[in-house]
Amino acid sequence: MATPLTPSPAAALYGDMDHELRATRRVLERVPMEQADWKPHAKSMSLGQLAIHVASLPAFATAVMAADELDALATPYREPTLATREELLAQLDATAAGLRDAVNAADHAAFGRNWKLRAGEHVMVDRPKGEVLRRALSHIIHHRAQLIVYLRLLDVPVPGLYGPSADEPTM
């Protein structure tokens, strides 16, 4: 009798990660960076800020896997300056590759270890790495959805991600 294959922790917990990163790339491929300053509302991020944030977010998830804590005061984060769609896609490709490598290299125990986000002595997050990683992926998806709304408002064709879209009726 054949032994059933046991998926790696990464495959079992984050089997959708590659799909979500590819879907994110499909959205970023549509971003008209020549309209980077456009905002749907005064309180909103600009199109460029949001797109850069989406392209850069996998690096945060990689940081979760790389260490057991991050002190935001000791390591302040600044998003890169990206001016073109090509730079945006290169940023996503690089951060997504780093995330894939970090997740695939981790053993099962790594996902259970706690991770802390702090600002000096103030602890903002203290949760298992696996949970923080899942929330980081959800955060990417959340901002990607915002970006899709921006595209729709700018009359940019929206790609189908989980099935057809009004702009791509067949996939």
| pLDDT tens, position by position, 96-120 | 999 999 998 988 899 999 999 999 9
Q: Which of 18, 30, 67 is nearest to 151 (CA)?
A: 30
162 lies in some domain: no
Asked whether the predicted pLDDT for residue 6 surpasses 90, the reply is no
Residue 163 lies in a domain: no
CA distance 145 to 164: 15
Does residue 119 sit within a domain? Answer: yes
The per-residue pLDDT for 14 is 73
The total number of structural domains in the chain stands at 1
- Say which CATH number the domain at 70 has: 1.20.120.450
- Mean pLDDT (the chain) is 92
Q: Residue 50: give the domain boundaries.
A: 16-153
38: Cβ contacts below 8 Å, ≥ 6 apart: 46, 47, 150, 154
Amino acid at 22: R
In the predicted structure, residue 11 carries a pLDDT above the cut 90: no
Residue 1 lies in a domain: no
**Tens-place pLDDT, residues 44-68:** 999 999 999 999 999 999 999 999 9
- Alpha-carbon Rg for the chain, nearest whole angstrom, is 18
Q: Tell me which of 2 and 92 has the higher pLDDT.
A: 92
pTM of the model: 0.90
